[in-house]
């Protein structure tokens, strides 16, 4: 059976990209990374990809007059590499509604909070300020609105007394590295379906057993 060909979009360090690369190194994993694309030439994630022989490309958003034109250029690269699904892994650009709709239920994102709480780029700061006892991460299908879409998998971590955004973020990131490959596996195996904007996972009992549990 052919593997799902994935394009990963990044803007920075690419630690979630590395987790995906590591998962795809397993010959039994049902997906492969066809291309990594960054809007920043100095993104370290590009080096991570190149070290594994994965095509790593740069498309500078500053060279385009509009977001739609940038997205058209991005689409061209994804089409050229025969991509079946797109994963956002720290990609710090808002995508146009047309692009998102074109990848409907084939475009995933990972966010460092238990959505729908604490959307945006300051999730850890906001979680600590709100005094919540539990935070975590979410992998979800992307919709046109930022950090909105059917949730595939979440992992919970405690918010500890004295936590800083950095210390909380480190614990959440460890769970992100488990959740994203898991969500990709389910997608590649054709186990995910969306009904009324809620995700159903085929083989629900097995899937629930694989979900991350709260960690210390």
Question: Which tokens sit at 34?
Answer: 């066809």
116 CB neighbour count, 10 Å cutoff: 12
111 is catalytic: yes
Catalytic residue among 61, 111, 124, 140: 111
State yes or no: cis peptide before 111, omega within 30 of 0: no
Active site members:
111
């Amino acid at each position: 059976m052919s593997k799902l060909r994935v394009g990963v979009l990044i803007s920075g360090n690419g630690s979630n990209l590395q987790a995906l690369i590591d998962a795809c190194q397993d010959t039994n994993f049902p997906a492969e990374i066809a291309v990594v694309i960054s809007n920043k030439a100095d993104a370290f994630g590009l080096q991570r990809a190149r070290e594994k022989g994965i095509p790593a490309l740069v498309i500078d958003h500053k060279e385009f007059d509009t977001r739609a034109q940038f997205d058209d250029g991005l689409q061209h690269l994804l089409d050229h590499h025969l991509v079946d699904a797109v994963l956002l892994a720290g990609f710090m650009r808002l995508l146009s509604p047309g692009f998102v709709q074109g990848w409907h239920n084939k475009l995933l994102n990972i966010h460092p909070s238990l959505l729908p709480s604490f959307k945006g780029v300051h999730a850890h700061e906001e979680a600590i300020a709100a005094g919540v006892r539990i935070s975590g991460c979410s992998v979800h299908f992307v919709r046109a609105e930022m950090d909105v879409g059917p949730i595939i998998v979440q992992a919970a971590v405690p918010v500890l007394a004295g936590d800083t955004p950095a210390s909380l973020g480190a614990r959440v990131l460890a769970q992100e590295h488990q959740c994203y490959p898991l969500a990709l596996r389910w997608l590649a195996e054709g186990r995910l379906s969306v009904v009324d904007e809620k995700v159903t996972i085929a083989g629900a009992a097995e899937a629930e057993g694989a979900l991350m549990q709260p960690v210390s």
